[in-house]
Amino acid sequence: MTLASANAAIDWYFLSPEIVLTAAACVVLVLDLFLDQRRKHVAAFTGALGIAAALGLVLSLAGSSGRTLAGAFEIDTFALVFKGLLALVGLGVVAVSVDHFRASGYAQGEYYFLLLCALLGGFLVASARDLVTLFVSLELVTVPGFIMVALRKRDAKSNEGALKFFLFGVLSTAVMLYGMSLLYGVTGETLLGPVGEVLPSADRGLVVLAVFFVIVGLAFKAAAAPFHFWAPDAYEGAPAPVAAYLATISKLSGFIGLIVVLTAFVEVADLWRPFIALLAVASMTIGNLLALRQDNIIRLLAYSGIAQSGYVLLALALLQPPTDGGASLLTNGSPLVAAAFYLVIFVVMELGAFAAAIGFGRRYGSYFIADYAGLWRRSPLLAVALAAFLISLAGAPPLAGTWAKLFIFLAALDHGAYFLAGVMGVNTVIAAWYYLAIVRRMFFEEPETDVAVEPPRLIRATVVAAGAVLLVLFVYPVLVTYLLAPTAGFVLVGG
Amino acid sequence: MTAEAWALTLAVFGPVLGAGAVAGLPAVRERAAVPAGIAISTLALAAGIFVAAAFDYGSPATIQAEADLAWIPAVDVRWHIGVDGVSLPLLLLSLLMSVLCFVYLAGHMPEPGRGRSLVALLLLLETGMSGTFVALDLILFFVLWETVLVPMYFVIGIWGGPNRQHAAIKFFLYTFLGSVLMLLAFLAVRFAGGSFDITALSAHVPKGLGGAFGDLVFLGLFLGFAVKLPLWPLHSWLPDAHTEAPTVGSVLLAAVMLKMGGYGFIRIALPLLPDAARDFAPWMGVLGAVAIAYGALCCLAQRDLKRLIAFSSVGHMGFVMLGIATLTEIGVNGAVFAMVAHGLITGMLFFLAGSLQERYRTRELGELGGVLAQAPRFGSLLTYAAVASLGLPGLAGFWGEMLALLGAYQPAPGLPVQLFRVLMVTGGVGIILTAGYFLWMLQRVTLGRPPRSSPPVADVGVIEWTAWGPLAALILVAGIFPQLVLGPSGDAVSQILAGFGS
């Protein structure tokens, strides 16, 4: 991509989903001022409308590809698939938030404003092909997160979680920014493509350091061990819907950024691959072992989410420097598709599990696993759905989680990564233990009371929708692999 | 797709659709669940019988009723199903046992009721079981294999006995670990052979699957299948699961799910990795023989009827393993026959044990007695099933174990003959011990005087006759005409064993 073509006029159509989200965020903020306390939840529906409009624009962009903003912003299949996913998950997060914020009555307007800003950040990450753009968009995801976690400002846990999240976040941001400045210093470029091209011939020590720092920053956002310490406390302290946001949109944005960076720097993959593999093994093992001992479902999902990050990192650790132009897609196609597929399935499972947990929490006021005893008798739909999400997170049929794990195993063996595949195999079985511990309580134990648990309607709809999506994708995963197959190519050829 | 292929698809995937329909029944229709289960599984059985009727018995080694459609092109996974002479008897066995279980449920709904959920889970289970026997794509096989896991976990955990929670999680984790290893082995097969298609891989054994790599892949398959079979020392989930599961769960576990492991060896492990199979065969034979002896000795020490039958399964599956380990046509045919026979006989034994417990409120051998005096027909059926299980000639239990031992007398070329003859003798001793503990059990339960506290006991009822009659008849028929199974399986097995030069 030469500068001459990159300097062409701004393509507003490419930017339209982001513009709509920005407008929606502003409208929500202003609207909040004029709504009286009982009608504040209208902000939620305004925000959802904005997200839906952005989703429509993303769909209308399907098939297009190209760059604008001097090459810093790219539209391709990869970006569009993840923007679509972010929008859908964003709608889900709004749906599980409404009842919570309406009932608790604090900061309703601000919350949806912050959520829309964060979602806008996620959209931008998917398209960012420039160090500065990437940095700004990543911070747009994280900074609203700091505030959202702290929304329960009179609650000690909320404060503790937010403070940890903030301190770790700022530190990792600083580290990442330092890494980016080193990259700029070494290569004299900020566009990822040219940076990646210059890297192989640059000073090796500096390149290792720079890429390492950037990865650290992104690993923090993806909640990968050993940069995960903030996650369980932030998840637990935050209002539950915010935890759902952290576990899905925030984590997903971190991974999108990681994929963008790693595929751009694929020429020096040998330098960063061992580090990613180490993160993968650490995340899987630490996340799963710590999850074994949790008694709060939100904390359990936080730790299990760390382990799940490890599986995606494993796929990314398989990326190899292209031997020649044509071979790169063949060798790197399967890990990239596996990682992207895992992310798609994972966020839907996670959203479903959080929605079910929030649905239970809204009606029962507890997030302790012990209180789920006999839930099957009290709310069959909620229990069956939560069990299905958990079993799918463990990787067993009958939902699409099976395929997600299978594709990663397949990519690992195709690349001869037997050790990593073995570690993941053992971890998959460990994880089954704690996921099933919840299932066991819900189905095999007697309830203390027979009072039915009826989750709020929007939450029920989210649970059912997530379950339906996963069931359809179990029967016919091609619906997603079809979208992702060109993705792997675009990322590598673009960059 | 041909009519037979459609019928096979209906037989396998009809039940899962039915499961969705049953789960969606409104709560007031709880009573309609079992009749719906009977209807759906009977339809599946009818479709299976149609496949069997259209089957060309002249060439049982050919895959028939085949459907081969693209499923996930990105990773070359295909929707490939079909039957040959080995899979046909096992397919029919699983379809039949499902029908009988639903019939039995009509009169014996286990606590805590909730018929819709139980029927839906059992229908899901049926698809997984029968699908495993017809899948010809490794990934399809894996998915269907895994499909049985979750429903059986719930069946044990919700409708099981006092120690059900422990049994359910143990069952799940054991099998899950096995299937993860099996999956890794499947993926390694594709890595070396470039395909997931079982028929294509069997026809041209991948060159890359030799040497140490092949042995490692075989080890993965071995662990996956051996946990399911289950083979000593990986069997410890079985006594718990079989004992704690409700009657229909025990029946399906014993009659069908154990066969998935043996079938996996015959369909996948042997033909795809002949060299590694030859390396492992002596070990498999030894473990099989140990299982025979260990199962029999454990049975002698049991006080609980269901646990006794469960341990007898460990021994019977030891014969299956021994037969497969000989790598001979005789031995493998014996294994196939033994699997079908064990399905019929042990299925019936678990039905009887379940009903016995309902009548006497106990399964303790020491507290039972005089069943023949109190309920003569029931006692006779129990005697019949028990002597069939100990291998009385003329009944189904005889042929499989006889052939397995015969195969061990002269194992495939390259295997240590002396060792296998020792194993044969061990197996023979196992048969004697088996006869011993079954006769001892019969003496305790059917003979003697009924316990004083015993309530008046009903004899076999209409529902029970309907559920058990077909099994009793088939045990006799298969005992007199073993060709019914050995005919179709013979040629198919020789094709599978083509790589062993026997």
Cβ contacts from A onto B, under 8 A = 83
Digit-coded pLDDT (tens) for B475-487: 999 998 988 888 8
Instruction: Report the C-alpha gap between B387 and B398 in whole angstroms.
Output: 10
Q: Which two tokens stand for residue B179?
A: 């299937």
| Nearest residue in B to A473, CA atom | B72
Digit-coded pLDDT (tens) for A330-359: 456 778 888 999 999 999 999 999 999 999
| Spatial contact of A207 and A186, defined as CB atoms under 8 Å apart | yes
Percent of chain A with pLDDT over 70: 94
Q: What is the pLDDT of residue A326?
A: 46
Mean of per-residue pLDDT scores for chain A: 88
Q: Whole-model pTM?
A: 0.90
Tallying the residues shown for chain B, one arrives at 502
| Spatial contact of B486 and B333, defined as CB atoms under 8 Å apart | yes
A253 touches chain B (CB under 8 A): no
**B455, pLDDT greater than 50:** yes
Distance from CA of B6 to the nearest CA of A (A): 18
Region class of B26: left (phi > 0), else alpha (psi between -120 and 50), else beta: beta
3-class SS shares of chain B: helix, strand, coil, % to 5: 75, 5, 20
Q: What dihedral angle (degrees, nearest 10) is formed by the CA atoms of A385, A388, A391, A394?
A: -80
Q: What is the pLDDT of residue A8?
A: 62
Q: What is the pLDDT of residue B233?
A: 87
Distance from CA of A480 to the nearest CA of B (A): 10
**A200, pLDDT greater than 90:** no
A391 touches chain B (CB under 8 A): yes
Distance from CA of A332 to the nearest CA of B (A): 14
List all residues of chain B from 404 to 463 with a beta carbon under 8 Å from chain A.
Answer: none
pLDDT-derived band of residue A494, with 50, 70 and 90 as boundaries? very low
Instruction: Report the C-alpha gap between B350 and B108 in whole angstroms.
Output: 13
Q: Exposure string (b/e) for B411-450, b if CB count within 10 Å is 16 or more?
A: bbeebeeebbeebbebbeebbebbbebbeebbebbbeeeb
Percent of chain B with pLDDT over 90: 50
**B446, pLDDT greater than 50:** yes
Instruction: Report the C-alpha gap between B283 and B276 in whole angstroms.
Output: 12
Crossing angle between the packed helical segments A131-149 and A204-221, to the nearest 10 degrees: 30
Which distant-in-sequence residues (6+ apart) come within 8 Å of B346 by Cβ? Answer: B254, B255, B309, B312, B313, B316, B389
Instruction: Report the C-alpha gap between A480 and B73 in whole angstroms.
Output: 12
Beta-bridged to residue A344, according to DSSP, are none
Q: Exposure string (b/e) for B216-235, b if CB count within 10 Å is 16 or more?
A: ebbebbbbbbbbbbbbbebb
Q: Do B74 and A391 touch (CB under 8 A)?
A: no
Three-class SS of residue A128? strand
Q: Do B176 and A429 touch (CB under 8 A)?
A: yes
**A495, pLDDT greater than 60:** no
Distance from CA of A420 to the nearest CA of B (A): 12
Q: What is the pLDDT of residue A10?
A: 82
Beta-bridged to residue B67, according to DSSP, are B81
B219 touches chain A (CB under 8 A): no
| Spatial contact of B65 and B83, defined as CB atoms under 8 Å apart | yes
B164 touches chain A (CB under 8 A): yes
A440 touches chain B (CB under 8 A): yes
CB atoms within 10 A of CB A64: 13
pLDDT-derived band of residue A327, with 50, 70 and 90 as boundaries? very low
Instruction: Report the C-alpha gap between B189 and B176 in whole angstroms.
Output: 20
CB atoms within 10 A of CB A292: 14
| Spatial contact of B124 and B15, defined as CB atoms under 8 Å apart | yes
Q: Which amino acid is at B62?
A: T
Cα end-to-end distance, chain B, whole Å: 36
Instruction: Report the C-alpha gap between B263 and B121 in whole angstroms.
Output: 23
B187 touches chain A (CB under 8 A): yes
Choose the closest CB to A410 out of B153, B177, B187: B187
Mean of per-residue pLDDT scores for chain B: 89
Percent of chain B with pLDDT over 70: 99
Which distant-in-sequence residues (6+ apart) come within 8 Å of A284 by Cβ? Answer: A307, A310, A311, A314, A423, A424, A427
Q: What is the pLDDT of residue A70?
A: 83
Instruction: Report the C-alpha gap between A390 and A381 in whole angstroms.
Output: 14
Beta-bridged to residue A130, according to DSSP, are A191
Q: Exposure string (b/e) for A207-216, b if CB count within 10 Å is 16 or more?
A: bebbbebbbb
Is it true that the peptide bond before B230 is cis, omega within 30 degrees of 0?
A: yes
Q: Which amino acid is at A480?
A: V
**A247, pLDDT greater than 90:** yes
Q: What is the pLDDT of residue B27?
A: 79
Q: Do A443 and B73 touch (CB under 8 A)?
A: no
Instruction: Please report residues of A whose CB lies closer than 8 A to that of B120.
Output: none
Choose the closest CB to B150 out of A397, A422, A440: A397
B73 touches chain A (CB under 8 A): yes
Average pLDDT for residues A200-213, to the nearest whole number? 90
| Nearest residue in B to A402, CA atom | B143
| Nearest residue in B to A420, CA atom | B184
Max alpha carbon distance in chain A (Å)?
71
Cα separations (Å) of A479 from A59, A235, A388, A482, B196? 15, 32, 21, 6, 21
Which distant-in-sequence residues (6+ apart) come within 8 Å of A441 by Cβ? Answer: A369, A370, A372, A373, A374, A375
Q: What does the H/E/C string look like for A172-231? A: HHHHHHHHHHHHHHHHCCCEHHHHHHHHHHCCHHHHHHHHHHHHHHHHHHCCCCCCCCHH
Q: Which amino acid is at B178?
A: G
| Spatial contact of A85 and A344, defined as CB atoms under 8 Å apart | yes
Backbone φ and ψ of B410, nearest 5°: -135, 80
Instruction: Report the C-alpha gap between A165 and A140 in whole angstroms.
Output: 15
Instruction: Report the C-alpha gap between B100 and B109 in whole angstroms.
Output: 13
Digit-coded pLDDT (tens) for B98-133: 999 999 998 888 888 888 899 999 999 999 999 999
Q: What is the pLDDT of residue A330?
A: 47
Flag whether the ipTM exceeds 0.85: yes
Q: What is the pLDDT of residue A76?
A: 86
Q: Hey, of A314, A375, A377, A406, which one would you mutate to test binding to chain B, going by the most B CBs within 10 A of its CB?
A: A406
Distance from CA of B117 to the nearest CA of A (A): 10
Q: Do A397 and B169 touch (CB under 8 A)?
A: no
Digit-coded pLDDT (tens) for A143-160: 999 999 998 888 888 889
Q: What is the pLDDT of residue A331?
A: 55
Instruction: Please report residues of A whose CB lies closer than 8 A to that of B154.
Output: 443
B154 touches chain A (CB under 8 A): yes
Crossing angle between the packed helical segments A478-493 and A251-264, to the nearest 10 degrees: 40
Q: Do B74 and A337 touch (CB under 8 A)?
A: yes
**A241, pLDDT greater than 60:** yes
pLDDT-derived band of residue A32, with 50, 70 and 90 as boundaries? confident
Instruction: Please report residues of B whose CB lies closer than 8 A to that of A477.
Output: 72
Cα separations (Å) of A282 from A230, A314, A408, B217? 16, 10, 17, 26
Instruction: Report the C-alpha gap between B394 and B391 in whole angstroms.
Output: 9
Distance from CA of B434 to the nearest CA of A (A): 36
Instruction: Please report residues of B whose CB lies closer than 8 A to that of A334.
Output: 75
Maximum mean pLDDT: which of A41-55, A322-336, A478-492: A41-55
**A183, pLDDT greater than 80:** yes
What Rg, from alpha-carbon coordinates, does chain A have? Answer: 21
A415 burial class (0-12, 13-18, 19+ CB within 10 angstroms)? buried
| Spatial contact of A256 and A82, defined as CB atoms under 8 Å apart | yes
B125 touches chain A (CB under 8 A): no
More confident residue, B342 or B204: B342
